[in-house]
Amino acid sequence: MSCSHLSTAWSSSALASSSTRRRASTGGSSSSSSLVVRCSLRDLRNRIDSVRNTQKITEAMKLVAAAKVRRAQEAVVSSRPFSEALVEVLYNMNQEIQTEDIDLPLTRQRPVKRVAIVVLTGERGLCGAFNNNVLKKAEARMEDLRQLGVDYKVISVGKKGNAYFQRREYIPTERFLELAGIPTVKDSQAICDLIYSLFVAEEVDKVELVYSKFVNLVRSDPIIQTLLPMSPKGEICDVNGICVDASEDELFKLTTKEGKLTVEREKIKIEMQPFSPVVQFEQDPVQILDALLPLYLNSQILRALQESLASELAARMSAMSSATDNAIDLRKNLSMVYNRRRQAKITGEILEIVAGADALSG
């Protein structure tokens, strides 16, 4: 009988529980003979080789995910100078027009009748519960809006989210978008142009972003962030109205500690330098701010895409690490069973030879 049907009954937890039951029934003694194996030694060898190959694959996928996390980290670092300069200009623009009544298209507050929900998911699977957590967060938000009597439409970004919403035709979906590799400004600009046109045309009164915020290699939190209407100061706000100053930022770094991969988060406060008193604006500061806010919206979407990718890759690293550990345990248990079966077979053959020799001598 083939060993392909052998499941995790040979996992360490199952063996431990069966060993405990045997000790309880035999008064403390345990024997591997009570473990029934219905396959030949050749099938066991094939099964061990298969698990070993699976272990190599999961280890390789873990290393690939780690390399991609580093590239995503470099992308975040390379985009920081532009973001810092943009935040500084926004800050100074607000200082110039703080006494004026600002009426800009992206900051206009309207009664909320319809909400656009941008959902960021991964392009691939094998990353644990990463995609499911984001989709559950989006479903919970949709249910809240339904109870409030507010219409909504979904903008799905990522193959996994696209497949999820395409199977659920009852969820109104505006657009399906996909990403290729590390997010770029072109990717964030496509999303920015779409939600900008929807909001300015008053097809929606609010735009929310659902994505997974990167915390560390074993944890990412799905959050909901309000994209539109924007704050003139460039503050980042959630659905509860809690805002964070745009000058406060976080930077994650993938490093090694005691031979293991780890992530360090560093909070950074951008030092605001006021404009020189001799600086004069050829255009009205409100017009300049109107041109800067779409750029800032684009940078926020790009940052969310980068955070989502880092969370996906970290989840994949964790999932592949667990799969590798499980493969090691399973291979160890299979090798133990194989060795015991082989030893029993050799012992039986020796006994047969001895019995035959005794019979001939007698």
Q: Which residues make Cβ contacts (< 8 Å) with residue 210, sequence separation at least 6?
A: 117, 118, 119, 120, 134, 137, 138, 141, 222, 223, 224
- Tell me the C-alpha distance between 110 and 102, whole Å: 15
Structure tokens at 212: 């997974």
Inter-residue contact 77 to 318 (CB < 8 Å): no
- State the catalytic residue, choosing from 3, 39, 127, 192: 127
The β-bridge partners of 244 are: 236
Beta-strand ranges (E) seen in 62-106 are none
Chain-centroid distance of CA 297 in Å reads 22
Structure tokens at 220: 């990412």
Q: Which amino acid is at 222?
A: P
- Tell me the C-alpha distance between 205 and 359, whole Å: 96
The Cβ of residue 300 has, within 10 Å, a number of other Cβ atoms equal to 20
- Tell me the C-alpha distance between 249 and 235, whole Å: 11
Bond from prior residue into 274 cis (ω within 30 degrees of 0): no
Give catalytic status of residue 127 as yes or no.
yes
Inter-residue contact 17 to 339 (CB < 8 Å): no
Structure tokens at 79: 């985009």
- Tell me the C-alpha distance between 119 and 131, whole Å: 10
Q: Are strands 260-269 and 248-257 parallel, antiparallel or unpaired?
A: antiparallel
Structure tokens at 288: 């300049």
Region of 234 on the Ramachandran plot (φ > 0 left; ψ -120 to 50 alpha; else beta): left
Active site positions, annotated: 127
